[in-house]
Amino acid sequence: MSERHVDCPALFISSTASGQGKTTLTAALARLHRRQGRRVAVFKTGPDYLDPLILSHAAGGPVEPLDLWMAGPEFCRQQLFDAARHHDLILIEGAMGLFDGQPSSADLAATFNIPVVAVINARGMAQTVAAVAFGLKHLPRSADNRHHLAGIVTNGVGSLRHRELIEHSLPSDIALLGNLPREEALALPSRHLGLVPPDEQEALDARFDAAADHLADSPLADLPAACRFTDQHIPAPPRLLSGTHIAVGRDAAFSFIYAANLRLLEAMGARLSYFSPLTEALPEADACWLPGGYPELHAHTLSSNTALHTSLADHHQAGRPILAECGGMLLLQQTLTDLDGHCYPMSGLLPGHGEMRTKRGCQGMQAAPLPEGEIRGHAHHHSRSHDTLPPIAHGRRAFHTAPGEAIYRQGRLTASYLHLFFASHPVAIAKLFVATTSAPIAAMADA
């Protein structure tokens, strides 16, 4: 098959660190260009559930993850190609600072030749912004993988004079593309684990519109130069889940779900249905997926839903598969203690007690070395579990030798703090969810 490609304007939004305004700028640009009648596709670098919810609200469409390690370069390339075919602009929000991580945002931007716009929070500095911008532009991660810095946007600018001091100090090869003022009305509220979801915020659209207004007369209001995106020709996954009904927990307590995971299950033939663990029992199904989220914010309601606990126990005792990730695992343990120290009984399918913590937790890329195959994913939690089952394995950290998250197995129930990215090993995922392990699937363990 001949190579196919398509051109589409694109920008990569990065910064010096987390909390500098990347999400605000990306959402503002999405809103600004949508107001001009353009179709905008937005992606988020790395493992993240909360920023994409905010960005999806601004972009008017789903926001997909892009990560060279977790998802792989082929997946990323295909996602960008598909987006370029149907949109007028692609925006990608980076993770942490431009050079943080391995691979970093700079690596991702360079891999696909997407120009970078760096957000610099200028609060408490003026001419020093030039030095920071110079470093972001001229420090490459490697000689053959250099990113291109198209310019900077300053955030937290206090006055016109503040802006002038910054602009006059910049080298001639670094453009000041826009400014966001120091206004509380532009800031996005956050809590433990990240930003507050959009359905819990008031006046979110007003925040987006206000930020977009500040960029309306800037160069960012125009489309950037087009980038070329190539078709990866990823084949359709095998339909190993044909006829399998998977019930997915999804509500305010369990919302950490990648749309790509749902698409893969359906592409493999699964029929998905959704239920709310807060208010409903687990419906009759061949398998169950309990994703992560914020069960600690709804512990009393979850504890009181006795129909849920009974249905989960019946499902488990019948030998039907359950995949419980992070918050889903906390639901299945014996108790959950929230941030205020209140302890609530949970389903008790697994030995263990979950306790929330305000500071210490775990985050980062890990692979789950399951008997079904190794599936890549990540950890992101501010809790710990104790008095658990002996784990069958520990997560393998992407770039560190220390053991990762414990992985528990009891019958057909698999639980861990890890959030899995299903497309990293579709066959292994199918084996986790299939009602009975069939010979064809067993034979494809290493596919």
Residue numbers annotated as active site? 326
Residues 6+ apart with CB under 8 A from 384: 354, 355, 357, 360
Cα torsion angle, 157, 158, 161, 166, sign: negative
- CB of 136 within 8 A of CB of 16? yes
Find, among 182, 112, 195, 198, the residue nearest to 148 by Cα: 112
Assign 104 to helix, strand or coil: strand
Region of 121 (left: φ > 0; alpha: ψ -120 to 50; beta: rest) is beta
User: Tokens 């205020």, residue?
Assistant: 340
What gap in Å lies between CA 345 and CA 331, rounded to an integer? 9
- CB of 129 within 8 A of CB of 1? no
Looking at residue 238, what DSSP letter applies? P
Residues 6+ apart with CB under 8 A from 343: 335, 336, 337
Contacts 24+ apart (CB under 8 A), 431-434: 431/240, 431/372, 431/373, 432/321, 432/323, 432/370, 432/372, 433/241, 433/244, 433/246, 433/265, 433/270, 433/286, 433/287, 433/289, 433/321, 433/323, 434/240, 434/241, 434/244, 434/287, 434/321
- CB of 51 within 8 A of CB of 45? no
- CB of 398 within 8 A of CB of 364? yes
CA 446 to chain centre: 27
- CB of 383 within 8 A of CB of 325? no
Q: How many helices (H) and strands (E) does the chain have?
A: 13, 24
Residue type, 189: P
